[in-house]
Amino acid sequence: MAELSNQLMAVTVLAYLAAMVLYAGEYAFGAKSRVGRAAVLPARELVGAGAPVPDDLPPAPVLVVSNSKRAEWVGRAAVGFNVLALLLHLGTLVTRGIAADRMPWGNMYEYILSATFVGSAVWAGVLLRRPALRHIGLFVSLALVLLLGADGMIAYTPVGPLVPALQSYWFIIHVSTIILASGILLIGAVPAAMFLIRDGYDRGKRRFPYTLGKSLPDATLLERLTFRLHAFAFPLFTFGALIAGPIWAEASWGRYWNWDPKEVWAFISWVVYAGYLHARATPSVKRTVATWIAILGFATMLMNLFGVNLFFSGLHSYANAGGM
């Protein structure tokens, strides 16, 4: 069963990769995209240059239509692969859990596997409710492929039982809410980054990352999605990290707060995200500034996920790469 889980994990990454390539395909050939238009324009010139063509036969719109139709199919295929990847991802988790005979949240590898699954599921939910946002699928799947790849390469741990310190029902409450919250916060960084790109594009910036902004959804839509994801995840994170965590810590170590590196970074993330929510609620603070704070929060989450586990030792060290 553990072997099956590992194979499923590899297939999951491949499926996300396929979805990413297809999203990219749609991105490149879509009618809205720069690339798509660039591809259309020379075609017209070529026809014009080759032979005298009557003016009343414009080939370009035809091409645009066929292009966007193809792009539409590519986009649907991308969503299909995305859903397939999500199911495989679930399969990886379930088989891992069966192999270990417990919730698959016992170490860093399993934790990231679960958090990315939550992120992916939330993305699927967003896609279902707002199909117009499909264009950012490229970046969502890119983030998922990178995180899962890093997880498999840096943090892989063979299936093992839980150490006694983790044998508590608070394990399920604390870890599940944190996984849920971090998954949503991690995925929330994607619309945040997309908003910054789109907003920059709208304000006339044409340097590299902003050129991507052309085919992105409306900036207001992206900004609102960013806020809603963060506003949903923040109380969850508060509960998981600052209420359930301390309750368990009190029972386990005797102190509800130990300034352990993991706790310190959870505190930092919490403070930064609180800053984001405040900044966004203040009319005098620009939305771009607020969104940058959300991106900073994402960076602190990544630090907590990878940096703290790999560089610091502390009470949460059983989450380390390599088991104990």
Partner 1 sequence: MTVVEERPAPPAAPPPRRPNRLWALLRNSWRQLTSMRTALVLLFLLAVAAIPGSIFPQRAVDSQRVTEYYAAHPKLAPVLERLGGFEVYASPWFASIYLLLFTSLIGCVIPRLLDHIRSLRLAPPDAPKRLDRLPQSAPAVESSKTPAELAAMLRKRRFRVKLREHDDGSVTVSAEKGHLKETGNLIFHFALLAVLIGVGFGHWYGWHGNRILVAGADQGFCNSLAQYDDSTLGPRVTAADLPNFCLTLNNFEASYQPDTGQPKGFEATVGVTEDDGPVQTRDFTVNDPLRLHHANVHLIGHGYAVTVRYTDRYGESQTKTVPFLPVDGMFTSEGVAQFPDVNIDPKTNKRDATLQMGFEGRYLPTVGTGATSTYPAENAPALFLTAYRGDLGLDVGTPGSVYSLDQGQIETGDLKNISGERPHELKVGETWTLDDGSKLEFVGTRPYATLAIRYDPTQSLILVGAVLGLIGLMLSLGGHRRRVWFRALPASPDSSGGTLLAAGGLPRTDYPGFTDEFASLVKAAEEGNP
Which C-beta is closer to partner 1: that of 80 or that of 314?
314
> Tokens in use for 116?
């990315």
> Tokens in use for 286?
């620009």
Q: How far is the CB of 150 from partner 1 (least distance, A)?
A: 21
- Using alpha carbons, select from 23, 49, 30, 321 the residue that is nearest to residue 190: 23
Cβ atoms of 182 and 301 closer than 8 Å: yes
Which C-beta is closer to partner 1: that of 168 or that of 176?
168
Which C-beta is closer to partner 1: that of 73 or that of 257?
257
Which C-beta is closer to partner 1: that of 16 or that of 195?
195
Which C-beta is closer to partner 1: that of 203 or that of 278?
278
Q: How far is the CB of 96 from partner 1 (least distance, A)?
A: 18
Q: How far is the CB of 154 from partner 1 (least distance, A)?
A: 19
Q: How far is the CB of 269 from partner 1 (least distance, A)?
A: 8
| Burial tier of 128 (Cβ tally within 10 Å: 0-12, 13-18, 19+) | exposed
Q: How far is the CB of 130 from partner 1 (least distance, A)?
A: 12
CA distance 296 to 290: 10
| Burial tier of 259 (Cβ tally within 10 Å: 0-12, 13-18, 19+) | exposed
Which C-beta is closer to partner 1: that of 16 or that of 171?
171
Annotate 76-116 with DSSP letters as a single string.
HHHHHHHHHHHHHHHHHHHHHHHHHTS-S-SSHHHHHHHHH
- Under the rule (CB under 8 A), what is the footprint of partner 1? 160-161, 163-165, 167-168, 170, 224, 227, 231, 234-235, 238-239, 242-243, 246-248, 250-256, 258-261, 264-265, 267-268, 271-272, 274-275, 277-279, 281-285, 300, 308, 312, 314, 324
Q: How far is the CB of 56 from partner 1 (least distance, A)?
A: 44
